[in-house]
């Protein structure tokens, strides 16, 4: 499978996932529909599905226009997320097929919104899988707890997403990587992997290139929100509970002026 990044708005990403055998494609969070259609046409692909991670306007706001422009397209969204323009509601564990080789698994990853869905995508043998995490998991960060609790975010990040295969590529909804890694260093100033990734990310951004994708393995090494099971992270937050550590780190991030 092929994945195309499409920068949208100020710092959002939409993505087109292409089943190479059939040229059928799905688009994740197409907030700028005309831009999406132009990229689809340039690549000669047939858009079949919109995969909406959550209902916020900068992710779902293009759905109605997509339906207007492509009347047959299916708009996928979480069953309890009230996604604009949704034609097909999905539950945790539901599977969708794209073309002949590409399979999409819906994962309920609530907290940022109560019905947030991440999409785990596998292609033909030899392709590394990918997960589209919207605003649940960012590179070295996580979304704000708008509609959920630290318990839910722990389940979403440290159970559901952390259990995906380590080489899984992580495609998130925003380009927040540099700031997230700068904050991560305030939690773990001696983590060399965070320092290395920060300088890499700064070079990427200077060149105008995306820092996405990461991998689940890299997130487990550098993302403080996915490292709360470690006693040393809990110690830094004055607790022995991973959920309390996650809550504390999120509060620090909310108040951080990096």
Give catalytic residues, as residue numbers. Answer: 54, 56, 58-59, 112, 135, 174
Cα angle, residue 53 at apex, residues 135 and 199 outer, rounded to 5°: 35
């Amino acid at each position: 499978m092929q994945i195309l990044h499409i920068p949208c708005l100020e710092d959002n990403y939409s993505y087109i996932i292409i089943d190479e055998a059939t040229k059928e494609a799905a688009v994740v969070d197409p907030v700028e529909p005309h831009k999406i259609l132009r990229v689809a046409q340039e690549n000669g692909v047939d858009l079949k599905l919109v995969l909406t991670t959550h209902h916020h306007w900068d992710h779902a706001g293009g759905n109605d226009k997509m339906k207007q422009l492509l009347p047959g397209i299916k708009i996928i969204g979480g069953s309890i997320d009230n996604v604009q323009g949704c034609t097909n509601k999905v539950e945790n564990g539901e599977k969708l097929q794209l073309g002949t080789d590409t399979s999409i698994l819906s994962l309920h990853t609530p907290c940022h919104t109560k019905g947030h869905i991440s999409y785990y995508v596998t292609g033909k043998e030899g392709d590394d899988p990918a997960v589209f995490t919207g605003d649940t998991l960012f590179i070295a960060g996580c979304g704000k707890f708008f509609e959920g609790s630290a318990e839910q975010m722990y389940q979403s990040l440290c159970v559901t997403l952390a259990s995906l295969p380590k080489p899984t590529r992580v495609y998130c909804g925003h380009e927040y990587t540099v700031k997230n890694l700068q904050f991560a260093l305030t939690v773990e100033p001696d983590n060399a992997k965070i320092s290395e990734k920060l300088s890499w990310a700064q070079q990427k951004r200077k060149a105008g290139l995306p820092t996405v994708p990461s991998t689940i393995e890299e997130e487990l090494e550098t993302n403080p929100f996915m490292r709360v099971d470690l006693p040393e992270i809990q110690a830094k937050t004055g607790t022995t509970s991973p959920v309390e550590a996650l809550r504390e780190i999120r509060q620090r991030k909310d108040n951080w002026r990096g």
